[in-house]
Structure 1
Amino acid sequence: MNKQKTINYSRIAEAIEYLLQSVKKPSSLEEIAAKMHLSPSQFQQLFTDWAGVSPKKFLQYISVQHAKQVLDNSQFPFAETAFKSRLSATGRLHDLFVKIERMTPEEYKNNGEKLSINYSFSESLFGNVLVASTHKGICYLCFADNEQLS
């Protein structure tokens, strides 16, 4: 790896670690970029290039992961779960869950009880795929070889 790629890799690794460690306290794009000695737009572009998602999307994913841990390990009401996950309100928790998991926090907390998941196999340019969905959208997609389909 050339020197600039090594520097960029280290910056993004540090940024990801920082975001993971600060899941309970909000950080703005400007704060994180300053910590990496970059402008917000430079940081956004570099992060997206290296991580494959924007910093905002990454924060959404880790916020939902954190909320799932809180829901799994507690009897907190959804308002407190939202607060402990850096989300502004239960509506935000609900919206993120539906957007990312394709189920509500309540459905997740109830282990998908009474949740109907449909699935089908299909062909793609990259091989056979298994697609699963709820009435809210696709919740699972994977590639499957012919042996798995038998």
Structure 2
Amino acid sequence: MQTTKAMNATETHPTYQQIARSIEFLTENFRQQPSLAEVADRANLSEYHFQRLFSDWAGVSPKKFLQYLTLAFAKERLRRGLTLAEVADGAGLSSTGRLHDLFVVLEGMTPGQFKQGGGGVTIQYAVFESPFGPYLLGAIGDKICKLEFLDEAEATDQARMTARFATDWSDARLIRDADSLRPLAHQIFTRTARQPLRIAVKASPFQLKVWEALLRIPEGQVVSYDQIAAAIGMPSASRAVGTAIGSNPVGYLIPCHRVIRKTGLFGNYRWGATRKVALLGWEAACREH
């Protein structure tokens, strides 16, 4: 289980870039089982400081985390993963084994509810820190409409962030307001008791179906694109499912990172392959402890 400090989204996590470099190295070289010294060198840290830093972030040692990155581990997770029925309707999942489907309520916005460009809608947004680097959070009232991970340069580029919203919400009123959003941000990466988080997304019925299926994947578990397609009753639509997953506007809370290839390879991620590996390994570590 992560410490409260490691999970607090409102605190800074300046070490993520060092962690990310080491995860990249582990991902590329796990077959060679690199030593602690080799991995620490990639993070430009001594073995002692790297071991402590990594363990504070992941909750497990680098050696244990390396286990979660192996192809065999991923395949084993797929084999003993959810049945199609469980992905489809959540049957048989214990309340303690689920995080997101208990605390996230997904609401779809249709053009009939809001104008296509968001006319009359006010969106508050700000950048916060997480265990996976900075992220852009946007909300309509108390409903989250955007959670997008950023690189370091993007996190300080006001014009670029505003442009991200303008793509989907060209007529919305955009207000940067970190103070108002901070209580909401505080709930996202914490495991303490909290109120359900509400998500409001502009989506087609098909996208909503796919994203609702993602919410039923427990933390630390993975499914394949084919399994999601079959679970929503469209077994031949795995390519369309992949497109819907890739267009997810709310990272982490709608856990598109939990879908991997049926071969056991983690595959791509719209916010970076390394971040996907970090999310999966981090959740696996939480589940194992």
- More helix as a share of residues: 1
Provide TM-score, normalisation by structure 2. 0.24
Provide TM-score, normalisation by structure 1. 0.42
